[in-house]
Amino acid sequence: MKTFTCKEIMNNEGGCEMKFIGADPVNVASQCSKHVSSSTDEVHATMREMMLNPNHTEEDRKKWFAWFQSEWDKKEND
Ligand SMILES: [Zn+2]
């Protein structure tokens, strides 16, 4: 299992101290995306707008996930 904070998942472009724990990056990313999409505050706006942007393509999503996968790989297991 690995633990990521909301901040880390947002690449420190906002986010909060909430922690997401999971065995794979898809699971952790999906926990965080639920958290971000239910937020209404400024600190989550960057990611929320990216997720809700109708111009956000499958390719953008893949690019983001490739970045997150590399962060995941760098992180030690809990
Ligand atoms: Zn958060």
56-75 pLDDT, tens digit per residue, is 899 999 999 999 999 999 99
Q: Name the phi and psi angles at 38, rounded to 5.
A: -90, 0
The one-letter amino acid code at 74 reads K
Q: What is the mean pLDDT of residues 15-35?
A: 98
- Give distance in angstroms: CA of 42 to centre of ligand 1: 10
- Give distance in angstroms: CA of 37 to centre of ligand 1: 10
- Give distance in angstroms: CA of 62 to centre of ligand 1: 21
- Give distance in angstroms: CA of 25 to centre of ligand 1: 17
Which domain, by its residues, includes 27? 2-74
3-state secondary structure of 1: coil
Contact assessment for residue 5 and residue 41, using Cβ atoms and an 8 Å cutoff:
no
Greatest Cα-to-Cα distance within the chain, rounded to the nearest angstrom:
36
Provide the mean pLDDT of the chain: 96
Taking the C-alpha atoms of residue 41 and residue 10, their distance in angstroms, rounded to an integer, is 14
pTM exceeds 0.85: yes
| Total number of domains in the chain | 1
